A and B are shown apart, each in its own frame.
Chain A
Amino acid sequence: MFSLDLAVNAIVAGLLLGGFYAAVTIGVTISFGMLDIVNIAHPAFIMLGSFVAYIVNSKFSVDPILIGVVMTPVFFLIGMAVYEIYYYAFERRGEESIQGLAFFFGLLFVGEVALILVFGVDYRFVEAPYIGLSLHFGFVDLPLRMLIPFLVSLLMLAVLQAFLGRTFIGRAILAVSQDRLALQLMSANPSRVKRIAFGISIATASLAGALLIIIQPVEPSIGRDYIGRIFAICVLGGMTSFPGMLAGAVLIGIVESITSTFYGPSWAPAVAFGFLLLTLAVRPAGILGR
């Protein structure tokens, strides 16, 4: 049965969801799109972010978003360490392709199994004053549980966009993504720039994980559902641009939301994959690409 109320609510919910997806994807847009490091373990770091938020929140009842922000330096260091291993084991030897992929795949799997060993497979959630409340505009519902992650995500996107465009390091990161050799000729060290950039990409997982556990209860293996989504959005958005990524994220969010409203939530995971295959087959440059 089709009703306008339901459709408008589905689209609004999809918009909010899409904004959140942008926060989940931004790390991969940096690592995969700009640095050419195929970090398929990114969802594992997001899960780690969720569980850190869960532990601190349940012990000290601190706001999860605050935890996510405070933990970013720690995740930044973890990211730098992972890049260091990746650099010495694969990139320097020029064997980044298949072994490098297997390395990140191993990290994804180990991360998931380790979290299961520690926390079990129960669903965990956080407590915050705004979870459960919602705003009403006519027949449109805006649950704060979705609205706040949406706003925080947009804020993070704006901050990172400004960082990349305005600061010296940010411009150096863009330079690596555009032409690594030219950067070397300018006597800058690409691997140092990449280490910082990869650290930033993992740091975003801290906040994205905190947002995730606000939106829905979390158990270690749900990170897997995000792999298809993240890469579909990244490819849809044309790999390197943040505005393109946001457009892709919102598109997938809305289509998923409509799918789960009208066909049932168990079909939603297939949506992102359909988009991914379609984009790869028809328009590999992404929706905003040339």
Chain B
Amino acid sequence: MDAGKFWIVSFIVSLIFLVLTRWLITNEYFFFAGYQVLQFIVLATAWNILGGYTGYTNFGTGAFFAVGAYSAVVLHKLTTLPVPVMMLTGGVMSGVIGFGMGYLTLRLRGVFFAIATLALAIVAQTLIVNWDYVGGSRGIYIIRPQHAPISGSYIQYLYSLMLALTWISVAIARTIERSTLGLGFNAIRDDEQAAEAGGVPTLRLKLIATTLSGALMGMSGAPLPYYVTYLDPASSFNLSYAVNSVAMPMIGGMTNWIGPIIGAVLLGTIQQLATVTISSALNLLIVGVLLIGFVVIAPNGIVGLVQTRWRARIR
């Protein structure tokens, strides 16, 4: 299937999914939980553009995500712009940060980029904690508009937006995967020196990957203030975003666009169930243990497991 067809088909699939869920399901909790799972699909897919395709680990998902959320807070206080515009702005902000981080650290070994992103989360949090306009460490209350711009409740509106973003990011990831850009990314992942010698403009490609990945994370963070209605640094910069967005592609499989989706749906659903039935601290433990277990036992994730079985059967 070529890229254009995939965009159309995935759009139709998303649209049918949207119509079906909104038509058949009346329980508000479904949309509340569904929003989270979709948000994790976006985060995992965005992470995978840099991590899975290009081979650079980003531990700063929380920072990019929260920058998107706090951009929306600033816009909310200054203007009455609709949420999709806030998502775009959040995306631009996080994209710029991704570009800056990449520009400063990507000329060195990949490890330094990983460490710098880990520290970025802490510094961005420090800045927000000290910034009283957006609530500082106390956090800030956001009052949702009374009516959603489309029919249905506000949560259903946010759910629909997140579904649209999911469609866009998955289609972008799939397009990159099958394009020369994706080939360049893979060349960098497999052997950066060889890629450089072979004429791949490595620094430029890496910057494209970090910017795009950061921008998508920022976009997925922008509706957060309206979703939770109370935003504070400790929860929006939570390390669990980073752990989840690393764990989901690793568990699903990093070489393929479907891997992050599998991982996000699986882990996202398990976490929703565990949060409701057991406790939220324990569900984070589950994610961590699954992450360690998968990287040790099945480094290519579920997709990798299926592929090996597939090949064995063909022989």
Could you tell me which A residues sit within 8 Å of B by CB distance? 38, 40, 85, 89-90, 93, 95, 97-103, 105-107, 109-110, 112-114, 116-117, 221, 224-225, 227-228, 231-232, 235, 264, 266-267, 269-270, 272-274, 276-277, 280-281, 284
Contact = CB atoms under 8 A, between A and B. Distances in A.
B139 interface: no
Nearest to A231: B115
Contacts of A114: 285
By secondary structure, the B interface counts as helix
Interface size class on chain B is 35 or more
Given A98-B57, A113-B288, A227 B51 contact: no
Interface stretch (B75-83, B105-113, B172-180): B105-113
14 contacts: A98-B51, A98-B55, A102-B247, A109-B239, A114-B285, A227-B122, A228-B118, A266-B130, A266-B137, A269-B125, A270-B127, A273-B120, A277-B116, A280-B116
A110 B289 contact: yes
A58 B289 CA distance: 30
Given A266-B126, A266-B129, A270-B126, A101 B285 contact: no
B284 A99 contact: no
Nearest to B292: A106
Contact of B104 (A95, A232, A267, A280): A280
Contacts of B127: 270
Contacts of A235: 112
Contact of B123 (A107, A116, A273, A284): A273
A98 B291 CA distance: 13
A110 B288 contact: yes
B70 to A, nearest CB: 16
Given A99-B250, A284-B108, A85 B55 contact: no
Given A232-B119, A269-B122, A109 B295 contact: no
Contact of A277 (B105, B254, B287, B291): B105
Given A109-B288, A228-B123, A89 B296 contact: yes
A109 B285 CA distance: 8
B146 to A, nearest CB: 36
Contacts of A101: 57, 111, 114
A109 B292 CA distance: 10
Contact of B119 (A38, A93, A228): A228
Contacts of B291: 102, 105-106, 109
B270 interface: no
Contacts of B299: 89, 93, 95, 99
A106 B122 contact: no
B284 A113 contact: yes
A281 B105 contact: yes
Interface in B109-152: 110-112, 114-116, 118-120, 122-123, 125-127, 129-130, 137
Nearest to B136: A266
B194 to A, nearest CB: 15
Interface centre among B57, B115, B120, B281 (most CB of A within 10 A): B115
